[in-house]
Amino acid sequence: MNAPMRVAITGAAGQIAYNLIFRVASGEVFGDDQPLYLHLLEIPAAMKALDGVAMELDDCAYSLLKGVTLSDKAEEAFDGVSWALLVGSKPRGPGMERKDLLTENGKIFVGQGKALQRADSQLRVLVVGNPVNTNCLIALSNARSIPAGRFHAMTRLDHNRARAQLAAKAGVGVDAVSNVTIWGNHSATQFPDFLNARIAGRSAAEAIGDRAWLEGDFIATVQKRGAAVIEARGLSSAASAANAAIDHVRSMLYSTPEGDWTSSAVLSDGSYGIPEGIVSSFPIRIHDNGAWEIVQDLEINEFSRQRIEVSVKELQEERAVVESLLP
């Protein structure tokens, strides 16, 4: 058995967290030799609901779960944690402009970024709460003592959606689909890249043989999948979002299979001409020691370039709105 590890989850009474917390506590994410303390953060108004979540955790009698801390203070919730899954954020209210959503949520991530400095020196962070790229930028900018490379914003759900669409179209299992990339923002401007994707060892374009579908319906379906789920379910994606967060964390714990990569939004280092100072989704590869790198030298043609630029422009606009929150 390893020494117990502390994991923080914010927005812990929300619907994604309800699909996430129990899977983390069961050992599915960090392994069945990894005892855990869960630190669950909520706003004061949701603490009663969070009590209910804690009762259910007790009632699962998970042997790996050594303790649960419930808090409405980020400093307390992040104390000594090795992982922080930042799921909580404010939903868009009636009449709320995108700009207001960015600044309202931005303020949360200023405070949480600062409070993360109380975490363990090994800390790794996954931001899930929207607008996720820019929230992540704010958090990492305010957590000045923590290397920026420890911060990721989740685009794994988009990545998984793209793989599933390609597999269905090609009539193969999802395991046959590799080398998918989500570029840019986790928004309807994201670019799911089929050009570099592979299906059973062939290029996805060759395996599917329907360029019009790849350039049209495929991209649109992935970009608008979140809205389609809301339309059908009356609620936003929760189980699939929690599942993607688990996939992301697990991907960060093990080296990426040879020749493949995953998608994650990280602080740009200028790769592929994507300007520094924004958190954009890239193809990334993880090494044994937990270090990761942006995969270089992928083919970007004019079609891809134009679409990546649209999403990058949106990220630059988001950055401009929250500039005052970046120290």
Phi, psi of 325 (to 5 degrees): -95, 0
238 lines the binding site for ligand NAX (CB under 6 A): yes
Cα(22)–Cα(141) distance, integer angstroms: 31
13 lines the binding site for ligand NAX (CB under 6 A): yes
CB closer to ligand NAX, 208 vs 251: 251
Binding mask 50-69 for ligand NAX (x = CB under 6 A): --------------------
The two beta strands, 83-86 and 124-127, are: parallel
Among 6, 8, 11, 243, contact with ligand NAX (rule: CB under 6 A): 11
Binding mask 265-294 for ligand NAX (x = CB under 6 A): ------------------------------
41 lines the binding site for ligand NAX (CB under 6 A): yes
Cα(34)–Cα(2) distance, integer angstroms: 5
Among 42, 193, 314, 318, contact with ligand NAX (rule: CB under 6 A): 42
Start-to-end C-alpha separation, the chain = 41
Q: What tokens does 89 get?
A: 């954020």
CB closer to ligand NAX, 126 vs 295: 126
Q: Which residues contact 121 (CB under 8 A, 6 or more apart)?
A: none
- Rounded to 10 degrees, what is the CA torsion of 152, 135, 137, 240? 20
| 3-state DSSP assignment of residue 16 | helix
Q: How many residues bind ligand NAX (CB under 6 A)?
A: 29
Among 69, 117, 236, 255, contact with ligand NAX (rule: CB under 6 A): 236
Closest among 135, 190, 205 to 157, alpha carbons compared: 190
CB closer to ligand NAX, 127 vs 208: 127
Among 4, 15, 213, 247, contact with ligand NAX (rule: CB under 6 A): 15
Is 186 annotated as catalytic? Answer: yes
Closest among 327, 28, 313, 323 to 189, alpha carbons compared: 313
- Residue 172 Cβ vs ligand NAX, minimum distance, rounded to whole Å: 25
CB closer to ligand NAX, 78 vs 292: 78
Binding mask 88-127 for ligand NAX (x = CB under 6 A): xxxx----------------x-------------------
Using the 8-state DSSP alphabet, how is residue 325 labeled?
Answer: G
Among 5, 7, 8, 14, contact with ligand NAX (rule: CB under 6 A): 14
Selected range binding ligand NAX among 9-17, 159-167, 192-200, 299-307, rule: CB under 6 A:
9-17
CB closer to ligand NAX, 20 vs 294: 20
- Residue 266 Cβ vs ligand NAX, minimum distance, rounded to whole Å: 14
Q: Residue 184: beta bridge partners?
A: 281
The two beta strands, 151-153 and 202-203, are: unpaired
Q: Does residue 3 contact residue 33 with C-beta atoms inside 8 Å?
A: no
Query: Roughly what angle, to the nearest 10 degrees, separates helices 132-142 and 98-115?
Result: 40
- Residue 255 Cβ vs ligand NAX, minimum distance, rounded to whole Å: 24
Amino acid at 82: S
Q: Which residues contact 104 (CB under 8 A, 6 or more apart)?
A: 90, 96
Residues that bind ligand NAX (CB under 6 A): 10-11, 13-17, 41-43, 46, 87-91, 108, 128-130, 132, 154, 157, 186, 226, 236-238, 241
- Residues assigned a catalytic role: 186
